[in-house]
Amino acid sequence: MRTTRRGFMAQLSSAGGLALACSASSLLAESPSSTPESDLISRMKWMNEPEWSNVSGGRITVRSTSKTDFWRKTFYGYVTDNGHFFHLPVNGDFTFEARIGGTYHDLYDQAGLMVRLDAENWMKCGTELVDGVRHASVVFTREFSDWSTMNDLSGDSAVWWRAVRKRDSLETLCSLNGQKYISVRQGYFVPGRPAEVGIMCASPEGKGFEATFEGLKLSQA
């Protein structure tokens, strides 16, 4: 029997209030394989190296460079592709997550996750400062960028972010404790192509800020 999206959500609600994030993750294989954090970081490399970065144990600290961003055309008319992206290639379906914090202080300071096929097809999600207030921000790009925001889960603490790729979709989720996740957005993502997956930060308007990333985890079926 086919289940509609509305029916699926109703089933979740009646199943003891499971988090939407968990529903997305459970669509993956029951026993996914996880890459150890140390091995994961050693395989990652920079696209647009930042002003400064440091890896200590499983914690990555980055100082972003001024006037950096990822954006294509919509509303502003320009293309900017000079944000900082620390990534590795991943084939097929996956779940990638990290705990992300930062000393956000200028307009559009941002840090989070990125999944990228090429310069015209990518997604970024994370915390972004807008009008002095932290927002949970997601941008999907297919030649043209779009942008959605909601209130961030915290005004000053680090937030867990998760990206789940499944067939032709990509879902973004966030959490305060790395256990109970909230689904922020789901969108189309070109299937059948390997993606570059990792962490990103940028400072479109400001002088740069310090972002921290820890608890990086990659799971595949």
pLDDT digit string, tens, across residues 98-125? 999 999 999 999 999 999 999 999 999 9
pLDDT at 25 over 90: no
Which residues does residue 198 pair with via DSSP β-bridges, in sequence order?
Answer: 87, 114
Radius of gyration of the chain (CA): 17
d(CA 79, CA 75): 11
Q: Which residue has the higher pLDDT, 38 or 179?
A: 179
- Number of compact structural domains in the chain: 1
Residue 158 domain-assigned?
yes
Residue 3 domain-assigned?
no
Residue 24 domain-assigned?
yes
Query: What is the domain-level CATH number for residue 166?
Result: 2.60.120.200
What is the pLDDT at residue 31?
52
Which two three-digit tokens encode residue 131? 């009008």
pTM reported for the whole predicted model: 0.85
Residue 7 domain-assigned?
no
Domain of 24 in residue numbering reads as 16-220
Residue 181 domain-assigned?
yes
End-to-end CA distance of the chain: 26
Residue 64 domain-assigned?
yes
Residue 10 domain-assigned?
no
Residue 58 domain-assigned?
yes
Phi-psi region of 5 (alpha: psi -120 to 50; beta: other; left: phi over 0): alpha
pLDDT digit string, tens, across residues 145-190? 999 999 999 999 999 999 999 999 999 999 999 999 999 999 999 9
